[in-house]
Structure 1
Amino acid sequence: MSVFEVRQGTSPVILGFPHTGTDVPAEIWERLNDTGRLLADTDWHIHKLYEGLLPDVTVVRATFHRYVIDANRDPENVSLYPGQNTTGLIPETDFDGLQIWKDGEAPTETDTAERLRQFHAPYHAAFLAEIERVKAIHGIAIVYDCHSIRSHIPFLFDGKLPDLNIGTDMGRTCAPDIEKAAVDIAASAEGYTSILNGRFKGGWTTRHYGRPESGVHAIQMELAQSTHLAAEEPPFALDADKAERLRAPLRAILQRIENTAFDLKTLTGSEA
């Protein structure tokens, strides 16, 4: 079983999907309790939501579930949001703070080391290879990390999450023009709310790869699942009408980001 999928393109944009995978090896599945087996914290369907929005885009997608190991967490398990509730490299709870492992079956340090080797490291090796390939073509690469989450999760945040949540680690992970491209389109998207660097400021993928000074830019988009699911509860079915409507602003964001990448390349020469 491959732990990741890659589709190579020639665009300067790379789409990352660390949390759409639902594969759980049998020996790990047996250790999950009934809550864990719901796989409720999946970024449901968003690899389908983005399908075909930008021609020749590169895609890197983890096929394993985040309960196996979270591909968007620091391998040293350093918290992305110190002082706030969150989940770790191998989650102990779901996003509601409920235990996901059977009694006595929580992952050990040995499990963590093995899953880093078997899942986390190969995914990021593939991701880095695509960044280097795309940058060799254009002199610039833009990582657009794709996420979704339920719109109401009191354990993680108060109230209702905005629809479109853009994260750039307070502007550190990409050029201002790239950030502005996403923010402007999101803000003008009729019927949707948006925010920049709100509760979600960019996960480990965005913060790790986003090095504008080296020509690699990164930006995260966290979608509220109310924008594209029929209901934010099992079976987490995609609402085709909602999804089609949402695809329009997402397409515009990706196109604007890609055009901005070409503009930056022109302004700075082969290095961005």
Structure 2
Amino acid sequence: MNPVEVLQGDSPVVLGLPHTGTFVPDDILSALNARGKELSDTDWHIHRLYDGLLAGATTVRATFHRYVIDANRDPSGASLYPGQNTTGLVPMTDFDGHDIWQTEPDAAEIERRRVAYHAPYHAALQAELERVKARHGVAILYDCHSIRSDIPFLFDGTLPDFNIGTDMGRTCAPQIEAATVAVCAAATQSHVLNGRFKGGWTTRHYGQPASGIHAIQMELAQSTYLTDEAAPWTYDETKSRALRIHLQDILTTLAEMAPQLKGTS
């Protein structure tokens, strides 16, 4: 299976989808324990949730599961959140802190996976951002994520519905951050800016406003669009229909804003 799927469009917005994939090759699947094989930490149905919301949006989607290798982690293995519980380039535990491997991958195996999966995903994402920037003079990466709203191993309390990450304003122009926050504030759901999730490696790596590439991460609480935050992870049509209105508003606003961002930092 190709590790990345790309749908090219002519909009200034690029959607990154690093965690919706569920493909695990047989040799890796056999090394996972029963808990790991549940693939519980998937960003379930996020590609479906965003499908068709912005005409002309480019999408770059990883097809492999984050337990194979996490496409939203620093390839060097450096932690995104030093001093806090998190999961690494190849997770050794799930989000609840439980082991997921019968046989943990060694350094050589992790490097093999980086070359086979992580690198092709980011090569494709980089290429699309550069293509879009060449067309519009600017590119806006909107990185799409979701997570269970209650995970004591990772954070206290219940996560807000919309979790916006810009690495404290470093990864995008302030107009992008403000416009996204404004849409979320007008919705009935809760939101936070640069709370527990400030933007993953993808957002921080590509978000270089001075170079014309802006990036923002949206981490949605899965309670906003799933029937229940547990297997079988059912997509809730009623919840999703309401949520998609707000997400479409965000994406449309960002796309319309792009011409104003040329030459800004």
Query: TM-score, normalised to structure 2's length?
Result: 0.99
Equivalent-residue separation in structure 2 for 1:262 and 1:40 (angstroms): 40
CA distance in 2, matches of 1:186, 1:259: 17
SS in 2 for 1:77: coil
| Structure 1 portions without partners, runs of 5+ | none
- Give per-residue Cα distances to partners, 1:64-83, cap 9 Å, x unaligned: 00000000000001100011
Report deviation, 1:9. Answer: 0.3
Report the equivalent of 1:117: 115
CA contact (8 A) 1:178 1:261 kept: no
Q: Gaps (5+ residues) in structure 2?
A: none
Q: Which residue of 1 aligns with 2:89?
A: 89
- State the alpha-carbon separation in 2 of the partners of residues 106 and 236 from structure 1: 27
Match in the other structure for 1:27? 27
Matched to 1:101, the amino acid is W
Helix, strand or coil: the match of 1:162? coil
The CA deviation at 1:258 is 1.0
- Runs of 4+ residues over 4 Å off in structure 1: none
Residue pairs, 1:119-268, within 5 angstroms: 119-189=117-187, 191-265=188-262, 268=263
Q: Deviations over 1:84-123 (max 9, x none)?
A: 0000000000000000001xx1010011110011000000
Code of the aligned partner of 1:214 = S
Task: Give per-residue Cα distances to partners, 1:106-142, cap 9 Å, x unaligned.
Answer: 0100111100110000000000000110000001000
Which whole-Å CA distance do the structure 2 matches of 1:152 and 1:18 have between them?
21
Work out the CA distance in 2 between the residues paired with 1:76 and 1:83.
17
Residue identity opposite 1:208 in structure 2: H
Aligned with 2:229: secondary structure?
coil
| Number of aligned positions between the proteins | 265
Amino acid at match of 2:11: S
> How many Å separate the matches in 2 of 1:50 and 1:230?
17
Q: Which amino acid aligns with 2:185?
A: A
Distance in 2 (CA, whole Å) between partners of 1:249 and 1:203 is 22
Deviation at residue 262 of structure 1 after TM alignment: 2.0
Distance 1:57 1:199 in 2: 28
User: Percent same amino acid among aligned pairs?
Assistant: 63
**Alignment check: 8 A CA contact 1:144 1:220 kept:** yes
CA RMSD of aligned residues (A): 0.8
Measured against aligned partners, the alpha-carbon deviations of 1:196-216 in whole angstroms (never above 9, x if no partner) come to 000000000000000000000
